[in-house]
Amino acid sequence: VTDTETPIHRVLIVGAGFSGLGTALRLQQEGIDDIVILERASEIGGTWRDNTYPGAACDIPSNLYSFSFAQNPAWSRSYAGSNEIMEYIHWLADAYGLRRYIRFNQRVQGLSYDSEEGIWTATTEQGETVRARQAVMAQGPLSNPSYPNIPGLNDFQGRVVHSADWDHDYDFNGKRVAVIGTGASGVQIVPELAKQASKLRVFQRTPCWIMPRLDFRKPEWQKTLFNKVPSAQAAIRKGLFLAHESMATGIIWDTPVNNALERLARAHIRHQVKDRWLRRQVTPEFKLGCKRVLMSSDYYPALQQDNCELITWPIVAINENGIRTAEGIEHQFDCLVFATGFSVPKTGTPFPVYGENGRELGSEWEKGAQAYKSINVAGYPNLFMIFGPNSGPGHNSALVYIEAQIEYIVKSVTTLRSLGVKAMDVREDVQKRHNQHLQKRLARTTWNSGCNSWYLTEDGFNATMYPGFATQYARQMKQVRLEDYRLVSSTGQ
């Protein structure tokens, strides 16, 4: 098929997770339904489709974890598990008829822009070509599981499982299991595996701050109320949102709120951990907020079960039987569970993206990714990103940020249509000023207070997080300031 024979769609979206589906839904509501979504897997759901390990749940209260334009009155718990979140995602796709836009099993291998025509072309590894006037990258920032580079990893003869690629056929009952990694996924997996494994060893490199998690079953009357009076749910949602906003002052900046939250986390350790050695081991040395603050009320108790032990000696090697630590001990296992997170393309893109005059985004981002309002990049007209550079939520619901970005995309697409303009390209000087300001603000955050985290590149550049309140972020996304863009008319001017 030659380019001239390939139909030109209005909007092309990469990824059918929350971001891609939400964008399609809102575009459809605005009367734009010439949409194609390319999805690499055979199912929708993105990160929630992939993260199905036992205990997988959201750290954000469920009432804050749905789109405001499609609330979910049915949440059964104060914090939703991954199953229930997937149910909500399926409901979104079915209730709004979004599946008809999706082409499954199509892994995008490149995106390129034709300046003459003002058209984006996506090609997939499976040989599909899709052309569209606007392109939305909604492939998610944390979608590729990362395995650490430990010598001998391939020699292990037992089962190897990653938190983001769970093996549901494997029976952990009575098995000797190692969990490597104590981040957000590790602390959710450990209490569940501690119920099944005969021996569970948790390999910790760095402990994280962990807050108690008030998880409870929601009363039936609340669901009935939310069904009948959506404004009641909206009001509760607002309250939860503001509570999280107020915590930002401690998590993002080193303020008295930070000290209070840290005292609470220390009290949580004292209350739940009896042994002094273990207390010392699980107490972080970095400031609360520097890495993601975790939520769990059953992780510390699980560590103290008879079948469970925390190991803080560094892992030196893996062999056919298990793990050798720097202490010189070899621990034998039937299964190794990697809760070691994701490879984050901070200084690149997940696939090559070619803009005007053949420029390539990954190489422009070698020294750290930069965008304008995290959504557009100069030289890449009509390209939008969800969870682009510096839109990471440190303290509030990811969906609040996604929603702000979706609204910006919808406004941009409808504005282009109403002005009869071919393309909008953010001005280089505007993008530069925006980033100078961002980096100045980031320098004063706790993320830059001296710990290693996936938020920072090796030389300490933060291309990941947004250094402010979710409210501030959403406010800057409310308006598309045309003066910030170079507008290209259909005649090319």
Stretch that binds ligand NA7, among 179-187, 227-235, 301-309, 365-373 (CB under 6 A): 179-187
281 near ligand NA7 (CB under 6 A):
no
Dihedral over Cα of 424, 430, 435, 437: its sign: negative
CB of residue 152 to ligand NA7, shortest distance in Å: 12
Number of Cβ atoms within 10 Å of the Cβ of 323? 25
CB of residue 50 to ligand NA7, shortest distance in Å: 11
Interface residue with ligand NA7 among 45, 61, 158, 183 (CB under 6 A) is 183
393 near ligand NA7 (CB under 6 A):
no
Sheet strand arrangement including 159-162: 159-162, 335-338, 176-180, 199-203, 308-311
CB of residue 436 to ligand NA7, shortest distance in Å: 27
Q: Is 101 helix (H, G, I), strand (E, B) or coil?
A: helix
Interface residue with ligand NA7 among 93, 179, 180, 288 (CB under 6 A) is 180
- Helix, strand, coil percentages for the chain (3-state, nearest 5): 35, 20, 45
Nearer to ligand NA7, 22 or 284 (CB): 284
Nearer to ligand NA7, 38 or 339 (CB): 339
How far out from the chain centre does Cα 471 lie? Answer: 19
User: Residues 280, 395, 240, CA angle at the centre, nearest 5°?
Assistant: 115
Stretch that binds ligand NA7, among 30-38, 201-209, 352-360, 468-476 (CB under 6 A): 201-209
CB of residue 362 to ligand NA7, shortest distance in Å: 22
- Could you tell me if 92 and 69 are in contact, meaning their C-beta atoms sit under 8 angstroms apart? no
Helix axes 398-419, 18-29, angle to 10 degrees: 40
- Could you tell me if 406 and 386 are in contact, meaning their C-beta atoms sit under 8 angstroms apart? yes
Stretch that binds ligand NA7, among 200-208, 328-336, 378-386, 410-418 (CB under 6 A): 200-208
351 near ligand NA7 (CB under 6 A):
no
454 near ligand NA7 (CB under 6 A):
yes
Nearer to ligand NA7, 121 or 396 (CB): 396
Nearer to ligand NA7, 207 or 379 (CB): 207
Q: Which residue has the tokens 């938190």?
A: 163
Interface residue with ligand NA7 among 112, 206, 249, 439 (CB under 6 A) is 206
182 near ligand NA7 (CB under 6 A):
yes
Total residues interacting with ligand NA7, rule: CB under 6 A: 21
Token couple for 188: 């959710």
Residues in 90-149 at the binding interface with ligand NA7, rule: CB under 6 A: 142, 148
Give the Cα separation of 52 and 183 in Å (integer).
Answer: 16
Nearer to ligand NA7, 27 or 142 (CB): 142
Residues in 321-340 at the binding interface with ligand NA7, rule: CB under 6 A: 339-340
Q: 383-385 and 129-137 as β-strands: parallel, antiparallel, unpaired? A: parallel
Token couple for 99: 């599946």
203 near ligand NA7 (CB under 6 A):
yes
Give the Cα separation of 311 and 308 in Å (integer).
Answer: 10
How far out from the chain centre does Cα 368 lie? Answer: 18
Q: Which residues form the interface with ligand NA7 (CB under 6 A)?
A: 142, 148, 150, 163, 180-186, 203, 205-206, 292, 315, 339-341, 452, 454
